[in-house]
Amino acid sequence: MSSTAAILETIRPLFGDELDAVELEIDRLLENDVTLIPEVAKHVILSGGKRLRPILTLLSSRLSGYIGDRQIRLAVCVEFIHTATLLHDDVVDKSDLRRGSKTANNLWGNEASILVGDFLLSRAFQLMVGDGSLKVLKLLSDTSAIISEGEVLQLTHENNIENDLPTYLKIISAKTAQLFAAACQIGAALAEREEHEKPLFDFGHNLGLAFQIADDALDYSARREKLGKSIGGDFRESKATLPVILAWRKSNAEEKKFWIRTVREKNQWQGDLARAISIMEKYRILQEAIDYAKKYVEKARGSLEIFKNSPEKDALLELLDFSVSREY
């Protein structure tokens, strides 16, 4: 069992029935006479997703004291928004594999991925409208706009090895952290505890930043490769993520030429990934990136201080520690 699955198994008993309800609802909402829709959507949603974002909504709702069942549908809604972005991302990045399986665009073509992504985003809005809270609708429609803004920003900066940290943070803040934040803030909105909204938003946002920074670092982890995990996806797509930005700053003239060719000019040869990893090891870049992520872990931890101890708070803190302690 991977450490991801292990952590989720530990906290699962906390909301077992609710997570099952989320899965059932996903299944029910994807039924469609246009059979290509459930085929494509289920391929992505049911192939190894960790349900991290729905779990955040379930835990935050309980932490904030909400009693009821609206969190189920809104957790599905958050997962649909996430899945829509995955489908479109894979087309944009021309990815063939995700979580070790063939991507939807690889199996059914770009057309199906684009249109089923559009369908899922629309379905997410239908769910929110069905829920009927204008506060949640505002939060999630803002989130959806911010995500796509972040994706366009990333598109215009992705091969820029000289990206500064504020630009990198702006991108991951929009494309990842915003949805984590919204997933958490929904809990406070459901519980009608306005004073919990900012702390839960901030918790999710900082958790999202830490998670994405660690994710970007793990993509260059030789140890993960030895464990049989697929790495190097960002490098092959010449994306200037944090490890490249940090490595660029320390690189000597010859190493800089390497980054210019492989990332800025997208001209890669056999053996380049190994060279990239060896430069990163030389300058201990992964450690630097993880240390950087840990700053956001501490910020996130601070946001939960207003809540008294509870199994839900413990579970959120476990997820937080997990975000930067995945095997790497």
The footprint of its own copies (CB under 8 A) covers 32, 34-37, 84-85, 88, 91-92, 110-112, 114-119, 121-123, 125-126, 128-129, 132, 134, 137-138, 141-142, 144-145, 147-149, 151-153, 155-156
Minimum CB distance to its own copies, residue 234 (Å): 16
* Per-residue tokens: 126: 């239908």
Nearest CB to its own copies, comparing residues 17 and 33:
33
Identify the CA nearest to 20 among candidates 75, 78, 89, 96: 75
Q: Which residues of 193-220 are buried (b: 16+ CB within 10 A; e: fewer)?
A: beebbebbbbbbbbbbbbbbbbbbbbbb
Nearest CB to its own copies, comparing residues 56 and 147:
147
Nearest CB to its own copies, comparing residues 151 and 225:
151
The dihedral through the CA atoms of 272, 277, 283, 287 has a sign that is positive
238, 266 contact by CB (below 8 A): yes
Angle value at C-alpha 320, between 314 and 321, nearest 5 degrees: 90
Minimum CB distance to its own copies, residue 119 (Å): 4
Minimum CB distance to its own copies, residue 121 (Å): 7
Nearest CB to its own copies, comparing residues 128 and 210:
128
Minimum CB distance to its own copies, residue 160 (Å): 14
* Angstrom distance (rounded) from CA 172 to CA 218: 15
Nearest CB to its own copies, comparing residues 46 and 145:
145
Minimum CB distance to its own copies, residue 171 (Å): 10
Identify the CA nearest to 83 among candidates 110, 55, 62, 104: 104
22, 57 contact by CB (below 8 A): no
